[in-house]
A and B are shown apart, each in its own frame.
Chain A
Amino acid sequence: MNLFEELDTLDPSSKLVPPRIETPTPHKIAVLILLKQYVKEKKNSMDSGITMRPQRRRMFCMLMFKLIQEADMTYNELHNLITNKPFKLDALMLESFEKAMSEFCGSASIEALFDFAEMQNIDTLLNEDYGVSQFSMVGVYVRRVAVVLERFSFAEMMCMYRNICLYYERGIRALSSGARKLIVGGVLHRAQTPPPSAPEEEIHKDTAEPKQEQGEVGQPLSRWAPKQAKFFINKQSELLDNDESSALSPKQLQLKVQQIIEDLPLNTTSYFLGYMNQLRIRDYYNALSALHRALDRSPVRLMSQEKGYQYFCINLAVLHATFGHREEALAALRESIMLAQEHGDKRSLNLANTWHCLLRDELPLSYVQRSVADISDADGNLLQNYTLALHFAVKLGTVAGYQPLRLFDLLQHSDQLTNRNNLSNHASEALALRSAVWCAYGRHELSALYAQLLLSVRDRFNCSGSAGMGSALASYAMWLHLQGELPLARVLLHRAREQLPRMPNAECWMISQCHVTIQSGIYRCRWHDALKACDQLHLLDPSAAMQQRAAIYVAKREFFNARRLLDKLAAKSELPFLLRMRVQVLLAYCSLAEGNFSSEAVMLLLRVAEDMSESQMDYELATVDMLLAQVLLMLGMPQKAYQAIKRSMDDIHINGGLYERAKADFVFVRCLLAIKDANARKAQLLKSLDILERSAQSFKKLSAHAKVLDVYVFLAQRFNEYGERTLRNKYAGEFRRYFMEHPIPREYLGGP
């Protein structure tokens, strides 16, 4: 490769030396021979009046696109492609193709290649009536091959012909020896051309072939063409962004990138793909050096527009942000903003500003509002930025506990934009965001619905691996667990793990898994497991981990430890609104359960209830009401307790998990009993027996053994009071039976 060429590529505006057209490879010649058969058949059908079936024509066109755009294949792979679904050719065309190939490489001599390269032959392919249009993608492909073949000297034609024959022979041998036997180490191979004067050597070479990955620079049998490379890089980069598990595995991708770089060293996007691959496996040092390499290899000026280094500064900031180096990322961003302003590059400036906001978790709402007016004339990039800004504003608002109405207004605005402009990944993100917002405001049923919606249309959105999908999977898994469907939850989490194997996308399902383990541990009184999961959660979300740990201590009735943690949490300034509310509730619970019914605790609860109702967090309010009902019962105010529980029943049954529903039922029955006078109580209890049975079943499903025992104890005690011996014995027997299976220490009974 000429050094001058390299310099030209890096600085293309100075001299207009165009890149050369690539040399055709044997694969391309084979594709053209296939095309010729098709054109011949089409001509025959036109002459005879019988038209080819449209499906056949369409499948052939799809086949041609696939062959042109993808990497070169060996002959046996091409043959397999055209003999299997979905591109299976019909028998006649297949036969004529095989015959043409064998004649070309076998019986005919180099004359066949010369004939093929004749303008007349090419013109039949490009014929207006039955050939391909010369301006179409296939037509340009044909012309590019033809124009290079025309200029070949005799020696080069000879070389070309030998390569084609070699390609064909290898393919035939592979086909005859077994299906799918890759001869030369892979789809895209660099092979050494064996000297054609020693044909017996070929056989030995074939057996030793797999080691020939690093071929010398001989006449290669297959080679990446710029267009194929472009298609491959675009596809892989999009897959890496949206659906990482469908992209090639990191090792394979690295191999392909290296091949492209070897074949087309002046192509800059291949270096960038290498960088993305390194970033994906979270290899910091290699990613950094790959980014530097991509920067070195990219032209500083592009299309007579000074591009400068601001774009790469942004990428450096993104790299640091991905690894969590906040300060370095912000420093790189500052530099990129300066450079972008220097070069007047609005696009990069927007991108830099976006990242700046995201990293500092703040959004100047004035910017968002100002952009409302400009929305009609915004170009694609700006539009995406704006939609992103809206989503971010919604997220910040939810976390801070704003009025939900305003948030949904913003979401609707963003939906209008995405629908109008077909931004599919933003649309899927919007669905995931809606699910999260509903969840934060307590409408868990709706949130689960949105999550299910997103999961069911993921194919249409083509975003199986995106972050929105991850959060939907995590959220729905947790919801299923709360409903008692632990195996289903496990399946979903497993699926999430497959789709999003690495950070940072893996964060949501990891958090979900920790929560699921913690909750399951609390239900079963397996404190050790739950605490261990808390430790894991601490790495991902420290505040939530502390709150869950406090919840575990509360369940264990270690109120001192719980209070210590909760005080620490309450002192933190930057907590999400929901978390703060829950911390307050737990604090109130601590003081109430200890037995000192100070007015302080009740005041706390009432204040929390007020905040919640302001923010319209109805479900949390309902849980507070349930707690209040318990307290009031203990204080001996059954009527008020009954009102409180009645208020909360609806919300809890609609949006609550199985545990909350069962608990609400239990408290409800206790309140019912309390408000009745002494002689009606027995009747009431008998009437409500099935409610209690149902709640016991729910607790059993969750393996919440302590609560099951609680229910049986309660029933046995009440029946003892009312003198119903048989029922008392029945429930005492149930208790004993259950206790034998799941012995829970006495202290955990009567818990929350």
Chain B
Amino acid sequence: MSMIPFFPNLKPTVANRFWFDMTSDDEMQTKRYEDERRNWTAATDLQPLGKVHTITGVETDDEDANDDSEDTDSHDEEDDETNDRVIPVTQDFYSADDIQMNDETSPTAP
């Protein structure tokens, strides 16, 4: 009828902090996105002289076509990184040339 010593359970915890310490570099990622955006806006501010012609960039149209329509996590970001839509920003109506251009470059054109 006496005391019993109670020892604490000395097993280390299951989760190793190693797993949960994976750092994600938010700052770098955000900065990269901002720089790209800035470069893109700077690039499209230029008014090209003469006739505009397409510069085919990395084809991301496949991805667009395969996207679920509901998924709006913007694939536009990938699009924006490339300059394959050189429709000048000042133009606010489609000209005949543009329609032709789209037909040529669009892979889903009949």
Contacts and interface: CB of A to CB of B under 8 A. Distances in A.
Contact of A470 (B8, B17, B68, B72): B8
Given A272-B19, A444-B3, A447-B3, A219 B70 contact: yes
A19 to B, nearest CB: 8
A315 B14 contact: yes
Interface residues of A, number: 93
Interface string B29-63: 11011100100000000000000000000000001
A27 interface: no
B78 to A, nearest CB: 9
B1 A140 contact: no
A660 B33 contact: no
A233 B31 CA distance: 26
Contact of B3 (A315, A384, A478): A478
A666 to B, nearest CB: 15
A437 B7 CA distance: 8
Nearest to A441: B5
B10 A388 contact: yes
B13 interface: yes
* A interface secondary structure, majority: helix
B69 to A, nearest CB: 10
Contacts of B26: 140, 144, 227
Interface in B52-110: 63, 68, 70-74, 76-77, 80
Contact of A351 (B12, B68, B72, B76): B12
Interface in A228-246: 230, 233-234, 237, 241
Contact of B77 (A151, A276, A388): A151
A384 B12 contact: yes
Nearest to A354: B12
A468 B32 CA distance: 47
Given A440-B5, A512-B6, A23 B74 contact: yes
A135 B27 contact: yes
Contacts of A272: 15, 19
A722 B44 CA distance: 119
A560 interface: no
A437 B2 contact: no
Interface string A18-31: 10111100000000
Contact of B9 (A22, A151, A507): A507
A712 B37 CA distance: 96
A302 B74 CA distance: 27
B6 A436 contact: yes
A623 interface: yes
Nearest to A319: B14
Contacts of B12: 351, 354-355, 384-385, 388
A234 B17 CA distance: 9
A433 B7 contact: yes
Contacts of B32: 18
A21 B19 CA distance: 22
A517 interface: no
A148 B29 CA distance: 12
A517 to B, nearest CB: 13
A152 B74 contact: yes
B83 to A, nearest CB: 14
Interface string A429-445: 10011011101100010
B9 A504 contact: yes
Interface in A465-479: 466-468, 470-472, 474-475, 478-479
Nearest to B68: A217
Nearest to A544: B4
A404 interface: no
Contacts of A395: 7, 10
Contacts of B19: 268-269, 272, 311
20 contacts: A140-B30, A147-B30, A147-B34, A148-B77, A151-B74, A152-B74, A152-B76, A233-B20, A272-B15, A432-B8, A470-B8, A471-B7, A482-B2, A507-B9, A512-B4, A512-B6, A551-B1, A657-B2, A657-B3, A660-B1
Q: Closest 3 A-B residue pairs measured CB to CB?
A: A467-B9, A471-B6, A439-B5
Interface of B: 1-20, 22, 24, 26-27, 29-30, 32-34, 37, 63, 68, 70-74, 76-77, 80
Interface of A: 2, 18, 20-23, 135, 140, 143-144, 147-148, 150-153, 156, 159, 217-219, 226-227, 230, 233-234, 237, 241, 268-269, 272, 276, 279, 302, 311, 315, 318, 321, 347, 351, 354-355, 358, 381, 384-385, 388, 391-392, 395, 398-399, 429, 432-433, 435-437, 439-440, 444, 447, 466-468, 470-472, 474-475, 478-479, 482, 504-505, 507-508, 511-512, 515, 519, 522, 544, 551, 578, 582, 619-620, 623, 656-657, 659-660
